[in-house]
Structure 1
Amino acid sequence: MSAAAADDDKQREEKGLDRLRRKPDLSPIPASDLDQHVQLTPWEVLHSLGRAITLARRGAGRGLAEHWASLKYNQALTGDSKSFMALSTEGKETADYYKAIQSGELGTGFALALATRLLSRRYPNRLISITPADTALRAGWALNSRDSGPKSGYRYRPQFFAEVWRPGEASRVFPIACKGNHSGLSASHAQLSSASAHVEAVHIGAWDETPCLVFSTELPLDGPLTVHTLCSDREGGWLDAPTRVLDHALEDENVYPGIQPPAQGDKRAEPEPGFHVSPDLFGWFQHALARTAAAGLAAFAGDAKATAQYLTKRQGQRRFAGITHAATDSVQDARHRLFGIDFVGTDHVFRLNRERVEAFSGVAEDLFHLLEEGRVEQYRREIYARRSSWPHTTWAPRWNGPVSIHTDGSVLAMRPLRE
């Protein structure tokens, strides 16, 4: 990766561009934290991807159904418990036309599934919540010209935050940058180098002490899928014990952009481009992360009203409170019982090689009612108490299809549609 970074620095210098700050001291994940070979199912990856993009502000979709886009990769992967996962024939054909989109989105799914697995092993008595960084940051900073407030003018930032938390205690936040490619190791090295600049754009607390995770997923047209992972094990990233009531609405802040380096002697250093969550913002940032995560979960279940209550104006509250296009809307009106647990959410019917397939995304019914009523504090206490009780089985016989359940109470299930 260092060679790729040096090459990029040289090119930027030749073009007269500023030198990028990159996260220092990135190193491979220790084997004790994550095995070299990790077992994942395709629907676990699609679940992670779907949850990640429920609040995405991209494409023509303005409804709640953006997470269904993950289902287009149903037949892109192949493999079983006795072999490595790889691109299927259909995945290879898709890569011929949509390389960047497919590798990027599948890279996100694999990265977040592995990040959750890794951090859960490191912090067995805590829960991991993944939130889209742009949505969380937008509550405090103006990220582009459409946002009100002082403009950051900096396009480098992580794609996600992982909050490691336990009710009533200080939590820890890991910026995550993830990329994917259909090329090979040299492309992954370049992507890891680029990702190191994205995670460096957010500092939480002291200068240069924020931990992070960076991923590059290699999906070659021939050979097994490989996820390259690096981490920074700095000691920071900790937020104070909660000082705000998470049930209360979050308001947009106008934080002046820039990261403040330590003073050089008696002289105050000039701020570096980026986003600095200083200690006086810890309570607000923790509040923003919790409510953004709740919004994503409500959107995954297809409830516009429940989603809108958790977002600020700048985060896109109006997108979920207004009228949506019929083709992109999603309605919370489906209910299924899986492994003895009642789930409510939304469903979608699509075709796989002429066969009609039903997909259901939702949340455990009692937990969804808490989110619907704005009771984030109680919801987080409940999922923490149940963190070890969710079923790990990936096939539901009565449902007749694969199922993925996360510790946040969300579910993604698919099956052939009965005639």
Structure 2
Amino acid sequence: MKPAADVLSDLAQMSNVAVHSDSGLVGSVAAAAAEDDEKRKEKENEALRRKPDLQPISAKEGGSLHLAPWNVLHTLGRAIALARRGAGRGLAEHWGSLKYSQALIGGSTDYMRLSAEGRETAEHYKALQSGELGIGFALALAEQVLSQRHPGHLVSIVPADTALRAGWALNSRDKGPRSGYRYRPRFFAEVWKPGAESLVFPIECRGHHGNAAASDDQLATASAHVEAVHIGGWNGTPSLVFSTELPLDGPLTVHALQSKGEGGRLSRHASSPEGALDDRLEDKNIYPGIQPPPDGDETQPPVPGFHVKPEHYGWFRRVLARTTAAGLTAFAGDGAATLQYLTKRQGQRHFAGFAHAAAGSVQDAQGEFLGIPCVGTDHVFRLNRTRVEAFSGVAEDLFRHLEAGRVEQYRNEVYARRATWPRETWDHEWWGPVSVHPDGSVLAMRVLP
């Protein structure tokens, strides 16, 4: 059993992550999609509507990924802070990322892979581990690709189900006209800067413990999920699909493809005042369905999915910004600050009132990490019999804006500081791994003194 101090040191070690995206992958995924369509035809099921013309991501943008395991856990924790899947009722979901504290190993000259514990866990919880770690690696790569492609912009990751629920009823528990369509992306990436239009990419990410052929199948299915959301014109919304291969023996690999398009743009209009992001949201009831272009003079019936039309652009931009703010305040453990950003259908009630024992979260911790004063929440648990403390939160000055509902001011200030955040992965004052994201969020862990 490795000492906890050694585990924390391993978490801060930078490592390489293999990325696969080429024309061969495009062909393999197309073949997997065709085979799936043939099986559906034999069962008299309708073929899936998938993103046409998937393409590789350029080697310049996504040819390699260099990060520490702790950065991956931070990315995963931020992504699932609004997941609402466990007994924490959505207030402490992000601590679930810490169960992978011993799952990954690597080094400055090595490719990251599963550790002995990660391999053992995979024998019992394959789908859970591969799916959640797949989120962490895919979103880290997505942020790198989009940041390089759009310099001078920030990239915010937004859980798609939470965002879509502000406008559409996704299942029988939601009030409103239901879509009845189970295919939808897992996340949106909003590429933005103050005063400019946002560009939105639907993202689907999966993972497995098999071989590369399993990624072909996952990417073929993922292309149907990202096709379910159109922003603007028909089939013009760019998207990203990922499948992370986590073999029991050998380095892990992120398989990635993209679709390009001129859509996905949430343009700003004079009718949208500068402070609109600070205005509270109410649930809309947008009728589900995507309108295809006419066939000659004939209007085509809508196809299943979710269509963000030009009249929705300002509203959807506000949904994405406020859902991002909710994820940050939830990551900092502040339920009261979180519920102001969500509608009833988005899960407002999950951030008020009772939380189960050992599953709640309270914003009452503070500290300085790599020179940044932060506020947030803490969690104490045992790591190989040693008591350790984890902290998650946000830079204090930025959190105060979010706490007060000042989304526009938060975005202006975090944008101004985008190039100033420290890149170190170890804080010698805190004496443990620390990860700082461009959104001002911080995740840290140490052995309790």
Shorter-chain TM-score: what band?
A: over 0.9
Q: Work out the CA distance in 1 between the residues paired with 2:376 and 2:88.
A: 19
Spell out, residue by residue over 1:328-370, the C-alpha distance to the aligned partner (whole angstroms, 9 max, x if none): 1100011011122100000111222112211100000011010
Q: Work out the CA distance in 1 between the residues paired with 2:354 and 2:330.
A: 15
Residue number in structure 2 paired with 1:231:
258
Q: Work out the CA distance in 2 between the residues paired with 1:268 and 1:275.
A: 18
Counterpart code for 2:104: L
> Structure 1 stretches (4+) deviating beyond 6 angstroms?
none
Residue number in structure 1 paired with 2:34:
6
Q: Work out the CA distance in 2 between the residues paired with 1:318 and 1:8.
A: 40
Q: Work out the CA distance in 2 between the residues paired with 1:91 and 1:396.
A: 26
Q: Is the 8 A contact 1:128 1:165 kept in 2?
A: yes
Residue number in structure 2 paired with 1:367:
398
Q: CA RMSD in A?
A: 0.9
The 5 A counterparts of 1:6-405 are 6-35=34-63, 37-241=64-268, 243-244=272-273, 245-405=276-436
Counterpart code for 2:206: K
Counterpart code for 1:199: V
What SS does structure 1 have at the residue aligned with 2:127?
Answer: helix
Superposition deviation, residue 57 in structure 1: 2.2
Q: Work out the CA distance in 2 between the residues paired with 1:319 and 1:58.
A: 11
Q: Is the 8 A contact 2:83 2:90 kept in 1?
A: no
Spell out, residue by residue over 1:62-88, the C-alpha distance to the aligned partner (whole angstroms, 9 max, x if none): 151110000000000011111000000
Q: Work out the CA distance in 2 between the residues paired with 1:11 and 1:104.
A: 25
Number of residue pairs the alignment of both structures matches:
417
Q: Is the 8 A contact 1:257 1:275 kept in 2?
A: yes
**Unpaired stretches in structure 1, ≥5 consecutive residues:** none
Q: Work out the CA distance in 1 between the residues paired with 2:43 and 2:447.
A: 54
Q: Is the 8 A contact 1:63 1:324 kept in 2?
A: no
What SS does structure 2 have at the residue aligned with 1:27?
Answer: coil
Q: Work out the CA distance in 1 between the residues paired with 2:299 and 2:260.
A: 27
**Unpaired stretches in structure 2, ≥5 consecutive residues:** 1-28
Taking CA–CA contacts closer than 8 Å with sequence separation of 6 or more, which of the two structures ends up with the larger relative contact order? 2
TM-score by length of 2: 0.92
Q: Work out the CA distance in 1 between the residues paired with 2:426 and 2:75.
A: 17
What SS does structure 1 have at the residue aligned with 2:121?
Answer: helix
What SS does structure 2 have at the residue aligned with 1:84?
Answer: coil
Q: Work out the CA distance in 2 between the residues paired with 1:182 and 1:63.
A: 28
Spell out, residue by residue over 1:263-301, the C-alpha distance to the aligned partner (whole angstroms, 9 max, x if none): 111211011110000111101100100000000000000
Q: Work out the CA distance in 2 between the residues paired with 1:66 and 1:154.
A: 26
Q: Work out the CA distance in 2 between the residues paired with 1:319 and 1:59.
A: 11
Q: Work out the CA distance in 2 between the residues paired with 1:123 and 1:14.
A: 44
Q: Work out the CA distance in 1 between the residues paired with 2:53 and 2:87.
A: 40
Superposition deviation, residue 59 in structure 1: 2.8
Q: Work out the CA distance in 2 between the residues paired with 1:8 and 1:25.
A: 17
What SS does structure 1 have at the residue aligned with 2:257?
Answer: strand
TM-score by length of 1: 0.98
Counterpart code for 2:42: E
Determine what percentage of the aligned residue pairs are the same residue: 68
Question: Which stretch shows the higher mean deviation, 141-150 or 14-23?
Answer: 14-23
Q: Is the 8 A contact 2:87 2:356 kept in 1?
A: no
Q: Is the 8 A contact 2:153 2:191 kept in 1?
A: yes
Q: Work out the CA distance in 2 between the residues paired with 1:6 and 1:60.
A: 40
Counterpart code for 1:25: D
Superposition deviation, residue 322 in structure 1: 2.5
What SS does structure 2 have at the residue aligned with 1:32?
Answer: helix
Q: Is the 8 A contact 1:128 1:163 kept in 2?
A: yes
Q: Is the 8 A contact 1:21 1:200 kept in 2?
A: yes
Q: Work out the CA distance in 1 between the residues paired with 2:405 and 2:375.
A: 17
What SS does structure 1 have at the residue aligned with 2:380?
Answer: strand
